[in-house]
């Protein structure tokens, strides 16, 4: 499983670079085609296919535990409540959704988007296991694991946890299926009905978030997924919001673009220059330092890939910030390595753009990063 995870992460990284180029050039081409041009439909379909491929790479990254996490302190009850309407539409009218949420639930620290993906994947699996309808129940509760509990449940550690339980009344799984359910590309669905990445994605997200997962299932008696996330004694963090007004407005700032993939760097530069930015290029960390040293004017933002040969993105940015304390930072990556990312967790407040990105996505992330500077100085 570890070897497959490393392979999946490497494939996803290379694939995301290719998809970035496809997505970005599709956007740029659409912007230049007249509204009545018959080629617009073809280019639009290329972009949509790239987006579908990107969703698959995100699942591979989740399984291989190489996603970039942006965790914050969460109330799982609020996450479940916000998803309830969407889940109702997802599972259909013949499945009854019930929630049992502990009003005194402790807080956890996790990436809210990833936790939503866990719940959604489990709900989809439950729906598919209940072809004639049934019951889907989502529960939250506090649980303290002592030494006696851990001795009966190998793989767990003592401590205070928040438990998320997703149960269905579906067909259940036999012992052979349970033994393989978290393997990537393993599926019991017929050809074309599933990728076999749903549960492996759940497993990767839970593990990368510092949690554990246990599954109970028998044929004809449904399935229950128990997810345990460590409790944190911290206050809830509000989601940072930035006004959409002017999100893709033209800019006049100077950006240092650090990217080792030539074609990704070229399309990124083209997008930024169309928006009015002055762009300085570097294909590695050392060149970025040389470019910064040679440029006598201000550099307002550094946009750097996280994983590069030689100096990593983190190391490069740390040195650039030391030399230019006012510079803002936007990290970009198709995947991350544990040695570089320190378990793939970015510092709070860091702006991160996941490859593949669209032309609009890049422009919005750059503007968000620059606007944050103005807010902080105000």
CA terminus-to-terminus distance, the chain:
50
Query: 325: how many CB neighbours lie within 10 A of its CB?
Result: 7
Instruction: Let me know: does 269 contact 255? Beta carbons within 8 Å.
Output: no
Per-residue pLDDT of the chain (378 residues; tens, 9 = 90+): 555 555 555 566 677 788 888 988 998 999 889 988 989 999 999 988 888 777 666 655 555 445 555 678 889 999 999 888 888 888 888 899 999 999 999 999 888 878 888 898 899 888 988 988 899 999 999 998 888 877 877 778 888 999 999 999 988 888 888 888 887 666 766 554 555 567 877 887 888 788 889 899 889 889 999 999 999 988 775 544 444 444 456 678 999 999 998 999 999 999 999 999 999 999 999 999 999 999 999 999 999 988 788 888 889 999 999 999 999 999 987 754 333 344 444 565 567 887 888 888 899 899 989 887 544 444
Cα–Cα distance measured from residue 178 to residue 180, given in angstroms and rounded to the nearest whole number: 5
CA gap 270, 288 in Å, rounded: 18
Which two three-digit tokens encode residue 18?
Answer: 């290719």
Whose CA is closest to 11, among 74, 56, 70, 72? 56
* Residues 197, 141: Cα–Cα separation, whole Å: 27
Question: What is the per-residue pLDDT for 241?
Answer: 41
| DSSP three-state, residue 73 | strand
SS3 170: coil
The DSSP code for 69 is: B
What's residue 182's pLDDT? 80
Can you give the pLDDT at residue 339? 31
Helix (H) or strand (E) holding 17: helix 2-32
Please choose, from the candidates 6, 8, 22, 9, the residue with its C-alpha nearest in 3D space to the C-alpha of residue 356: 22
List the chain domain ranges: 2-64, 76-232, 254-377
1.10.10.10, 3.40.50.10130, 3.30.110.30, 3.30.565.10: which CATH number matches 76-232? 3.30.565.10
- CA distances in angstroms from 18 to 13, 169, 265, 266, 337, listed in the order given: 9, 42, 12, 13, 19
CATH architecture of 254-377: 3-Layer(aba) Sandwich (3.40)
pLDDT for 147 equals 83
Q: What is the side-by-side order of every strand in the sheet holding 278-282?
A: 278-282, 254-258, 301-305, 328-333, 351-354
Residues 6 or more apart from 101 whose CB is under 8 A from it? 77, 80, 81, 139, 140
According to DSSP, the residues that pair with 128 across neighbouring strands are none
The predicted pLDDT at position 105 comes to: 94
pLDDT of residue 158: 87
Residue 196: its pLDDT value, please?
Answer: 56
Q: How many Å apart are CA 89 and CA 120, to the nearest integer? A: 11
Alpha carbons 44 and 311: distance in angstroms, whole number: 37
CA 258 centroid distance within chain: 22
Residue 56 has what pLDDT? 65
User: Token match 């259909």: residue?
Assistant: 92
Q: What angle do CA 340, 345, 346 make, to 5 degrees?
A: 90
């Amino acid at each position: 499983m570890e070897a497959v995870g490393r392979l999946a992460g490497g494939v996803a990284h290379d694939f995301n670079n290719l998809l970035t180029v496809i997505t970005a050039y599709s956007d740029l081409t659409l912007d230049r085609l007249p509204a009545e041009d018959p080629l617009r439909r073809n280019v639009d379909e290329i972009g949509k296919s790239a987006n579908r491929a990107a969703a698959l790479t995100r699942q591979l990254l989740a399984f291989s535990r190489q996603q970039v996490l942006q965790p914050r302190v969460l109330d799982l009850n609020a996450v479940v409540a916000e998803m309830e309407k969407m889940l109702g539409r997802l599972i259909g009218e013949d499945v009854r959704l019930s929630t049992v949420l502990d009003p005194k639930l402790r807080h956890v620290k996790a990436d809210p988007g990833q936790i939503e993906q866990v719940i959604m994947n489990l709900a989809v699996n439950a729906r598919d296991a209940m072809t004639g309808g049934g019951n889907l129940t989502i529960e939250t509760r506090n649980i303290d694991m002592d030494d006696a509990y851990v001795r009966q449940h190998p793989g767990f550690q003592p401590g205070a946890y928040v438990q998320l339980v997703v149960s269905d009344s579906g067909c259940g799984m036999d012992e052979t299926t349970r033994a393989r359910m978290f393997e990537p590309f393993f599926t019991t669905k017929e050809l074309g009905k599933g990728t076999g990445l749903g549960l492996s994605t759940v497993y990767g997200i839970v593990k990368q978030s510092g949690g554990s997962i246990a599954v109970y299932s028998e044929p004809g008696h449904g399935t229950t997924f128990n997810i345990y996330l460590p409790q944190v004694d911290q206050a809830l963090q509000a989601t940072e919001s930035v006004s959409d007004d002017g999100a893709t407005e033209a800019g006049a700032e100077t950006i240092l673009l650090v990217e080792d993939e030539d074609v990704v760097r070229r399309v990124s530069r083209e997008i930024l220059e169309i928006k009015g930015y002055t762009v300085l290029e570097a294909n590695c960390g050392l060149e970025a330092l040389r470019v910064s040293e040679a440029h006598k004017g201000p550099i307002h933002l550094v946009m750097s890939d996280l994983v590069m040969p030689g100096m990593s993105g983190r190391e490069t940015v740390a040195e650039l910030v030391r030399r230019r304390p006012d510079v803002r930072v936007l990290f970009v990556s198709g995947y991350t390595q544990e040695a570089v990312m320190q378990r793939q967790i970015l510092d709070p407040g860091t702006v991160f753009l996941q490859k593949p990105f669209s032309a609009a996505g890049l422009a919005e992330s750059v503007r968000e990063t620059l606007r944050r500077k103005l807010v902080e100085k105000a």
